[in-house]
Amino acid sequence: MVQSLSERPARFLGLPRGAIAPGQEASFVAVDFRAVRRIRAAELHAPCGWTPFEGFPGIFPVLHLLRGETLISGGEHVGSPGGRILRPGDLPPPPSVRPLTGLPTEGSPDRA
């Protein structure tokens, strides 16, 4: 499952992560699907202070590691994410992506 949902997409996108192995960045979320609790806006850490899902049942992370640092443990925030925002062009294109060629151009008879 990890390989299909994490390793392969990371490899396809040329990202140096995705594997759970020694020497790799540890970034993952652990969820206990049996630990259902009510959603409360006061517990969500959102800047708006409300949610349309108030009172609905929800499932929340019990452990969240980001780049090897613990952010959530036992359902409580214990760290800060840090990091930076990546914008288009910040990373080189992945090596497995090639430009499309041979596509019909505007006004060609092959274009629908």
Tell me the one-letter amino acid at 67: R
Name the token pair of 21. 């192995």
Q: Determine the CATH number of domain 19-77.
A: 2.30.40.10
pLDDT band of residue 109 (cuts 50, 70, 90) is low
Residue 89: its pLDDT value, please?
A: 78
Q: Say whether 81 sits in a helix, a strand or coil.
A: coil
Q: What integer is the mean pLDDT of 71-76? A: 85
Residue 33: its pLDDT value, please?
A: 93
Other C-beta atoms lying within 10 Å of the C-beta of residue 27: 16
Name the token pair of 79. 């760290």
pLDDT band of residue 5 (cuts 50, 70, 90) is confident
Q: Does the predicted TM-score (pTM) go above 0.75?
A: no
Residue 59: its pLDDT value, please?
A: 94
pLDDT band of residue 84 (cuts 50, 70, 90) is confident
Residue 53: its pLDDT value, please?
A: 95
In this predicted model, what pLDDT tens digit does every residue of 7-38 receive, in sequence order? 888 888 877 777 777 877 778 888 999 999 99
